[in-house]
Structure 1
């Protein structure tokens, strides 16, 4: 379509949109309704006067007829707010006008508008009752004037019925359009809520990943730095350079590993075009590295892993839970804690246990997000997790992770980036 065609068709399309908006809108909620109805009453009254003047001299209204005719158009101003009272007033004014055998067509515009308003704003039962009353009055008036005017009676009754049916059709059409709009708005709200939920879950997942990575790494670096500082301060004259060098090498290795995992996490977050949006997930094969990192921090770790394979989501959840449990043991269990990690399969589930012989977190300490994150990771694959002090001393973390969980992690677990 060229620009000339666009210029010639755009006004028509806009005018059509305005007309459809007027048709679809409930007349009771339209803006400036009273003002518009006042203008409509004046226009219809002018049309009624023209109809009355075009008839022969014998059928033109007299003074009383003109008064009744013009008065019949006045209630139209309030037709939107009070359709039934307006219809009643209209009947009271029109009935004597017809009985005086004035021009019957002059009041047709006012009658049709009043009937249409009742039909388009009311229930079908009310519309039927209005039709019966109006037709009864018309039949009575016409038979009182001239019992032989059957053709005129049929014509007037047809206009009344047609006007009422048109109003009912418009009412149902507006209800249909309103239902479509409501469904569309409801679907849009559902999409917005789903988008907000996904954003919240993604933020939670990112926060959990960063917590697992940084808390574990910072704890190990802190312990290794404390070892190096202790060696330097214990006996400066007999400095054990080999021990200090080993501690510094361990710190550097921990930093390199953390930097690599952080780079992987950031790359995943930047991959917006990938359908999966997630790199290889950590799994059960990474548990020996976690144990070795904890040993470098001074913990005495014993592992018993009898499960070789697990769904990716379950393996990732187990890896993160063990990582957080070892981090807490190194941080809170005291110097050189004895930690035991056990993973085995029983009744279609992966059972995980991490215990230590330390004292647990210090009373009154600032609560962290480690236990919350571990429970969320267990729930993300349909599992459960318990954590707390042991009766024999120390702290214990146990988890039950179903092995029939989906192989793709959920947004609450190792979700997509």
Structure 2
């Protein structure tokens, strides 16, 4: 990167270039012969035309005008023409690098005119055609070089800009994937723990109630409640271990065999049994069709699991109907209870939100709310195979 000084933004490199060009131009004008020897006026004109090049990147237009304005009287006094040509060409090429092609061409034509007039002023012998062609060639070369530098600069800037956008895109994709993974983990833990803890709480309450009765209640019922608690703990531990095993292996594709899935109505029997152990009459109905994709089966299982958990926790229902209908394209699942719809979903829970996200994750939809005939209903429509555009 070029270091800028405090002198109006001029760079150190450009200041050194201006000094070297001024010294070289004055030295060449003193050594080489010309119609007129270099005097103090010529030195002043030559140095005055060269020193402004220190600001050529800051004010290219001003530097170009100033340089040409001082080179014209320099040529008019018949000093060595070549000494003033170099700073003029540098100023012209710099200006051409900062403007559009049409402007650069127009300025190049104007520079040819000014240079031709300057070379023709003063003296008795005007420039020959070879001198004129050489002058024109140098002017064209300066304009072309400036435009080439501009094109290269634009090309490099475009590459850098694309690289920066690609880097930002990669960062955004990485952050989105992290957020999606956190959301998936949150859903899995919520579905697993909320269901298990709810059943454990219900059965523990039953056991405590029976133990507190006088005379003691039938031990068979109490043993059944405690067995249900133990079995629920074992199932939760198995599912949690399977979930953690998938999360620990970064190279492993998510295994849907490690977590409960759906194998027709039979796959929902354990969930229905757990709800029945909490005192709710669960009915499984429906027409089975083709087996859905594994990820769709997991989504159905988790949706039914969460819906039944909400029934146990919130609805105070006595009966609940789980219906599953599948065809070649869609899988429809509904969970309807006869409880109090206005108590479902109160508080800051994430159950309905989690079910909705489950459905969307495979390209389906889910609606949850009060049922027309009373109670609460959860209805989901899922594709038999996960949609490509699913979240």
Residue in structure 2 matched with residue 185 of structure 1 by the alignment: 164
Q: TM-score, normalised by structure 1?
A: 0.86
Residue in structure 1 matched with residue 107 of structure 2 by the alignment: 130
Residue in structure 1 matched with residue 298 of structure 2 by the alignment: 316
Gaps of 5+ in 1: 1-20, 413-417
Instruction: Please state how far the C-alpha of 1:328 moved relative to its aligned partner.
Output: 0.6
* Larger CA deviation: 64-73 vs 33-42: 33-42
Q: Cα deviations across residues 272-312 of structure 1 (Å, max 9, x unaligned)?
A: 122x1324153223211111111112211110142252122
Q: Which of 62, 65, 79 matches 1:102?
A: 79
Question: Residues 409 and 373 of structure 1: is their aligned pair in 2 closer, same or farther, counting only changes over 3 Å?
Answer: farther
* CA–CA separation in structure 2 for the residues paired with 1:238 and 1:125: 102
Residue in structure 1 matched with residue 33 of structure 2 by the alignment: 56
Contact 1:343 1:352 in 2 (8 A): yes
Instruction: Please state how far the C-alpha of 1:323 moved relative to its aligned partner.
Output: 0.5
Q: Which of 105, 115, 137 matches 1:158?
A: 137
* CA–CA separation in structure 1 for the residues paired with 2:346 and 2:127: 103
Contact 2:36 2:77 in 1 (8 A): no
Instruction: Please state how far the C-alpha of 1:34 moved relative to its aligned partner.
Output: 3.3
Contact 1:349 1:401 in 2 (8 A): yes
Residue in structure 2 matched with residue 215 of structure 1 by the alignment: 194
Bigger share in helix = 1
Gaps of 5+ in 2: none
Alignment of 1:173-252 (within 5 A): 173-235=152-214, 237-252=215-230
Higher relative contact order (CA 8 A, sep 6+): 1
* Larger CA deviation: 357-366 vs 59-68: 357-366
| Residues paired across the two proteins, number | 381
* CA–CA separation in structure 2 for the residues paired with 1:267 and 1:361: 39
Question: Residues 238 and 89 of structure 1: is their aligned pair in 2 closer, same or farther, counting only changes over 3 Å?
Answer: closer
* Larger CA deviation: 342-351 vs 289-298: 342-351
Q: Which of 242, 246, 249 matches 1:264?
A: 242
* CA–CA separation in structure 2 for the residues paired with 1:164 and 1:242: 101
* Larger CA deviation: 77-86 vs 210-219: 77-86
* CA–CA separation in structure 2 for the residues paired with 1:55 and 1:350: 95
Contact 2:34 2:80 in 1 (8 A): no
Pair 1:284-2:256 in alignment:
no
* Larger CA deviation: 251-260 vs 98-107: 98-107
Q: Secondary structure of 1:405's partner?
A: coil
Q: Which of 311, 323, 331 matches 2:313?
A: 331
* CA–CA separation in structure 1 for the residues paired with 2:218 and 2:34: 131
Residue in structure 2 matched with residue 169 of structure 1 by the alignment: 148
Pair 1:66-2:43 in alignment:
yes
Residue in structure 1 matched with residue 321 of structure 2 by the alignment: 340
* CA–CA separation in structure 2 for the residues paired with 1:328 and 1:364: 8
Q: TM-score, normalised by structure 2?
A: 0.91
Instruction: Please state how far the C-alpha of 1:134 moved relative to its aligned partner.
Output: 1.1
Question: Residues 363 and 204 of structure 1: is their aligned pair in 2 closer, same or farther, counting only changes over 3 Å?
Answer: closer
* CA–CA separation in structure 2 for the residues paired with 1:83 and 1:238: 101
Residue in structure 1 matched with residue 364 of structure 2 by the alignment: 383
* Larger CA deviation: 354-363 vs 60-69: 354-363
Contact 1:98 1:141 in 2 (8 A): yes
Q: Cα deviations across residues 196-246 of structure 1 (Å, max 9, x unaligned)?
A: 1111111101100100000000000010001001101122x3342222222
* CA–CA separation in structure 2 for the residues paired with 1:306 and 1:344: 5
* CA–CA separation in structure 2 for the residues paired with 1:199 and 1:355: 35
